[in-house]
């Protein structure tokens, strides 16, 4: 379910017309629906109700303070990958005891910071990292709670750039080596073995790879629990969303099929996984990012020019790959709708940004109505891996962000002032 839809011929986020937000806050503009975030969290929470569980939102997908506060208020924890993310989560009201720290390259200072804050678990990705955590915890006279990330060598059948659970990937420790690692880790004085973690990839659209991975890893979890008294098993994130057609996910039918495809819903996910997880008798952690935030956000952009070449109709907009890189980076599909619905003939159009790269596009050969300068478009499903992946390429300011709840809306991040982009830069002393 999400709360972006047409009311008459105007596009709305919850009860607020998106056009009114653009008038107020300008463009490009990210807009998030708080009700959508809440419902997505609650859907997962209910689906996992038969097991003791904790949902740790992967804030790499969307780390706006207002988004994080929404999820912290719902009792959620957070999956973090840097001390910056931990600081951000704490600033938004997160409880560090509900935070898990993932990532293959944790630095000494990051480990020290997370230990001092008291995170629930370090999700360890290598033995040298384990040694490092033990050493730092010893120095600080602390016991570090850890889980090792197991690489189950299961193909998630997703985009190559976001698959993580095979031996071609840098993540985790091979399943065959895990028991040896736990045996050695159990001898480290400043380590507490708290759990086991895995994450096989992102934007998974079928339940089978999850099922295969849980089945493969469960016997290992049982043995580790018996030997080392583990407390939790984290099954990672990765639940995919519907990008095409995004608007249809507001239709209850979405829970069954869309465009003839079966969709991976929390109910289907839980129906297949809970029976495998419950007998383990452990706390189950989940680390969803995209499922919660993806369809809770849009990016609105203004058409600056319409340019017809011999071959193509280009809609040149004021957002660019620096605002939303997914089409350029993964050839990702984002549904695009005009803020004012137009009837009439559809024209095959390329929606492109102003950046000096041919990869700076949002859609190619997309059937769109006849549009002109000053019309606005919404790029849907932009709530996950949207703003968080933005950059200042071409010295472009980062977009503003707005949160909507019912009739209310608030600016939750100002558009970045352009001078801030080079703040901290200077010339060398001999150039003065
Ligand atoms: C360790 C870990 N957990 C959770 C996630 C969240 O993934 P997703 O947004 O697909 O749910 C990721 C990103 O893929 C990750 O690397
Ligand atoms: N950035 C990716 C997802 C990365 C998942 C991170 N582990 C995307 O937009 O699809």
- 8 Å CB contact between 152 and 174: no
Shortest-distance atom of ligand 2 to CA 325 = 9
Kindly state whether residues 64 and 166 are assigned to the same domain.
yes
Q: What is the distance between the alpha carbons of residues 354 and 320, in angstroms, rounded to a whole number?
A: 6
What CATH number did the domain enclosing 67 receive?
3.20.20.10
Pocket mutation for ligand 2, best pick of 384, 388, 391 (most atoms within 8 Å of C-beta):
384
Kindly state whether residues 126 and 260 are assigned to the same domain.
yes
Pick the closest to residue 67 from 327, 334, 289 (CA basis).
289
Any ligand 2 atom below 6 A from CB of 293: no
Kindly state whether residues 179 and 230 are assigned to the same domain.
yes
Kindly state whether residues 325 and 265 are assigned to the same domain.
no
19 lies in a domain?
Answer: no
What CATH number did the domain enclosing 333 receive?
2.40.37.10
Kindly state whether residues 108 and 124 are assigned to the same domain.
yes
pLDDT at residue 258, rounded to an integer: 58
Tell me which of 34-38, 79-83, 92-96, 307-311 is least confident: 307-311
* Each residue's pLDDT tens digit, 108-145: 999 999 999 999 999 999 999 999 999 999 999 999 99
Tell me which of 158-162, 228-232, 293-297, 317-321 is least confident: 158-162
Beta bridge partner(s), residue 350: 314
Predicted confidence band of residue 2 (pLDDT cuts 50, 70, 90):
confident
pLDDT at residue 163, rounded to an integer: 73
Sign of CA dihedral 150, 156, 161, 166: positive
Kindly state whether residues 288 and 336 are assigned to the same domain.
no
Q: DSSP state, 395? A: G
14 lies in a domain?
Answer: no
287 lies in a domain?
Answer: yes
Check pLDDT > 60 for residue 255. no
Predicted confidence band of residue 157 (pLDDT cuts 50, 70, 90):
confident
Instruction: Please identify which residue in the block is written with the tokens 């350029």.
Output: 328
Kindly state whether residues 416 and 269 are assigned to the same domain.
no
Check pLDDT > 80 for residue 44. yes
263 lies in a domain?
Answer: yes
Q: Residue 280: CB partners within 8 Å, gap ≥ 6?
A: 218, 221, 222, 225, 233
* Each residue's pLDDT tens digit, 299-355: 999 999 999 998 999 999 999 999 999 999 999 999 999 999 999 999 999 999 999
428 lies in a domain?
Answer: no
Kindly state whether residues 397 and 257 are assigned to the same domain.
no
* Residue 191 Cα to ligand 2 middle (Å): 30
The HSE-up count of residue 404 (CA atoms within 13 Å, CB side) is 26
pLDDT at residue 300, rounded to an integer: 99
- Residue with CA at minimum distance from ligand 1 atom 12: 237
Average pLDDT over residues 250-255: 54
Kindly state whether residues 342 and 409 are assigned to the same domain.
yes
Average pLDDT over residues 176-186: 97
Q: What is the distance between the alpha carbons of residues 180 and 85, in angstroms, rounded to a whole number?
A: 31
Q: What is the distance between the alpha carbons of residues 209 and 218, in angstroms, rounded to a whole number?
A: 14
Any ligand 1 atom below 6 A from CB of 266: no
Q: What is the distance between the alpha carbons of residues 266 and 380, in angstroms, rounded to a whole number?
A: 21
Instruction: Specify the number of domains making up the chain.
Output: 2
Q: What is the distance between the alpha carbons of residues 430 and 260, in angstroms, rounded to a whole number?
A: 66
Give the distance between the most distant pair of CA atoms in the chain.
71
Kindly state whether residues 206 and 346 are assigned to the same domain.
no
Structural domain that includes position 152: 34-292
Mean confidence (pLDDT) of the chain: 95
Q: What is the distance between the alpha carbons of residues 413 and 401, in angstroms, rounded to a whole number?
A: 5
pLDDT at residue 263, rounded to an integer: 75
Average pLDDT over residues 19-42: 97
């Amino acid at each position: 379910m999400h709360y972006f839809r047409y009311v008459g011929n105007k596009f709305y986020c919850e009860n607020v017309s998106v056009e009114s937000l653009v008038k107020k806050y300008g463009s490009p503009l990210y807009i998030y629906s708080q009700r959508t975030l809440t419902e997505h969290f609650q859907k997962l929470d209910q689906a996992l109700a038969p097991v003791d569980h904790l949902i740790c939102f992967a804030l790499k997908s969307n780390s706006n303070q207002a988004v994080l506060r929404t999820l912290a208020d719902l009792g959620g924890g957070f999956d973090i990958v840097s001390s910056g993310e931990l600081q951000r989560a704490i600033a938004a009201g997160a409880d560090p005891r509900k935070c898990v720290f993932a990532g293959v390259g944790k630095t000494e200072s990051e480990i020290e910071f997370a230990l001092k804050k008291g995170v629930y678990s370090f999700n360890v990705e290598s033995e040298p990292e384990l040694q490092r955590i033990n050493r730092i915890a010893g120095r600080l006279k602390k016991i570090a709670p850890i889980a090792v990330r197991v690489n189950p060598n299961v193909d998630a059948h997703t985009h190559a750039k976001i698959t993580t659970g095979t031996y071609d990937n840098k993540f985790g420790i091979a399943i065959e080596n895990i028991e040896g690692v736990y045996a050695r880790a159990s001898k480290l004085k400043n380590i507490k073995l708290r759990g086991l973690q895995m994450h096989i990839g992102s934007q998974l659209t079928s339940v089978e790879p999850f099922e295969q991975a849980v089945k493969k890893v469960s016997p290992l979890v049982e043995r580790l629990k018996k030997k080392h008294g583990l407390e939790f098993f984290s099954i990672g994130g990765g639940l995919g969303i519907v990008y095409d057609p995004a608007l249809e996910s507001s239709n209850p039918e979405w829970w069954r099929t869309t465009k003839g495809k079966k969709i991976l819903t929390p109910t289907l996910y839980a129906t297949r996984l809970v029976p495998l997880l419950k007998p383990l008798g452990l706390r189950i952690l989940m680390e969803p990012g995209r499922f919660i935030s993806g369809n809770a956000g849009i990016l609105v952009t203004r058409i600056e020019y319409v340019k017809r070449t011999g071959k193509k109709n280009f809609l040149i907009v004021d957002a660019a790959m620096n605002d939303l890189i997914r089409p350029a980076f993964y050839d990702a599909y984002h549904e695009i709708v005009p803020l004012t619905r137009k009837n009439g003939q559809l024209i095959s159009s390329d929606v492109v940004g102003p950046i000096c790269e041919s990869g700076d596009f949002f859609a190619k050969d997309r059937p769109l109505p006849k549009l002109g300068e000053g019309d606005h478009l919404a790029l849907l499903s932009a709530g996950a891996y949207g703003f968080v992946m933005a950059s200042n390429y071409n010295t472009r300011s980062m977009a503003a962000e707005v949160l909507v709840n019912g009739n209310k809306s608030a600016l939750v991040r100002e558009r970045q002032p352009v001078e801030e982009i080079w703040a901290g830069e200077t010339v060398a002393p001999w150039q003065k």
